[in-house]
Amino acid sequence: MNDIVLEARGIVKRYGHVTAVAGADFDLRAGEILAVIGDNGAGKSSLIKVLSGDVVPDAGEVLLDGKPVHFKSPHDAQLAGIETVYQDLAMAPALDIATNLFLGREIRRKGPLGSVLRMLDVKEMRAQSRQQMDALGITTLQSITQPVDSLSGGQRQTVAVARAAAFGRRVVIMDEPTAALGVRESKGVLDLIRRIRDTGIPVVLISHDMPAVFEVADRIHIHRLGRRACVVRPGDHEMNEVVGIMTGALPPPAAAEAS
């Protein structure tokens, strides 16, 4: 119990007559990459939106470091140290990498230039961006002053992940980060996810990419019909078993750990 960083119990979220999340539990442990898998419509994104403050659940509770939290917006979750990379990445393509890293959290110049004239401290943001890229071992971005619309899909994803890693003090959540990427680009993003975990920040990885899940995940949360069916370790199960559980063709293993 004491190594659980982010936890959810009995989460329910309805949209009209559709129950997107039907009493779901969730546990993310310190130091792990937790994959969340499930069929389309299983309620993965809805559950993750509850954890990231994007959606307020109809029932259930969320705990961070064992304490109940009540996020009313993504900003609330961000203040608590939870950063989410959404599928659409939420970037400003015309602006450069450094500016995108600090989007919505810009550093202002010191004194009245910043406080009155709202002038940005571009130098400081660029310096910190370079530092962040170095810390994560990112070598695929040539210049921090490059506009984001000049980057490849994988590079954009790298910027989005680096941004989440920079501000995610407790948890980084990623919804399908490799869905639009080629093999090499995916590998780069998966390496980055490992490095984030290795810096001590646990990562939630929602993904359809089974080989990627089996490659990087420490544990796999299998979501089915709006709730967690079970959690398995990739070493204990074949990929086709896991897919079978996910689709309902196979029952969840009796001995599967509940959390």
Ligand X SMILES: Nc1ncnc2c1ncn2[C@@H]1O[C@H](COP(=O)(O)OP(=O)(O)O)[C@@H](O)[C@H]1O
Query: Which residues contribute to the site for ligand X (CB under 6 A)?
Result: 15, 18, 20, 38, 40-46
Contact window for Mg ion (CB under 5 A) among 22-30, 39-47, 78-86, 160-168: 39-47
For 47, 84, 211, 247, 254, the CA distances from 250, given in Å and listed in that order, are 23, 31, 19, 8, 11
Question: How near is the Cβ of 47 to ligand X at its closest, in Å?
Answer: 7
Contact window for Mg ion (CB under 5 A) among 38-46, 101-109, 116-124, 150-158: 38-46
Burial class (CB in 10 A: 0-12, 13-18, 19+), 141: middle
For 1, 66, 107, 108, 205, the CA distances from 84, given in Å and listed in that order, are 24, 20, 21, 24, 10
Judged by beta carbon, residue 36 or residue 144, the one nearer ligand X is 36
Q: Contact between 45 and Mg ion (CB under 5 A)?
A: yes
Question: How near is the Cβ of 204 to Mg ion at its closest, in Å?
Answer: 13
* From Mg ion, ligand X, none, interface partner of 15 (C-beta below 5 to 8 A by class): ligand X
Contact window for Mg ion (CB under 5 A) among 45-53, 96-104, 155-163, 245-253: 45-53
For 27, 63, 85, 128, the CA distances from 13, given in Å and listed in that order, are 18, 17, 21, 39
* From Mg ion, ligand X, none, interface partner of 38 (C-beta below 5 to 8 A by class): ligand X
Judged by beta carbon, residue 15 or residue 92, the one nearer ligand X is 15
Question: How near is the Cβ of 240 to ligand X at its closest, in Å?
Answer: 20
Question: How near is the Cβ of 12 to ligand X at its closest, in Å?
Answer: 12
Question: How near is the Cβ of 257 to ligand X at its closest, in Å?
Answer: 22
Judged by beta carbon, residue 38 or residue 234, the one nearer ligand X is 38
Question: How near is the Cβ of 155 to ligand X at its closest, in Å?
Answer: 25
* From ligand X, Mg ion, none, interface partner of 139 (C-beta below 5 to 8 A by class): none
Residue pair 153/64 in contact (Cβ under 8 Å)? The answer is no
Cα 139 to its chain centre, rounded Å, is 22
Contact window for Mg ion (CB under 5 A) among 37-45, 50-58, 124-132, 162-170: 37-45
Residues 6+ apart with CB under 8 A from 142: none
Crossing angle of helices 153-167 and 183-198, in 10° steps, is 10
Residue pair 88/175 in contact (Cβ under 8 Å)? The answer is no
Question: How near is the Cβ of 42 to ligand X at its closest, in Å?
Answer: 4
Judged by beta carbon, residue 126 or residue 227, the one nearer Mg ion is 227
> Which residues sit at the interface with Mg ion, rule CB under 5 A?
45
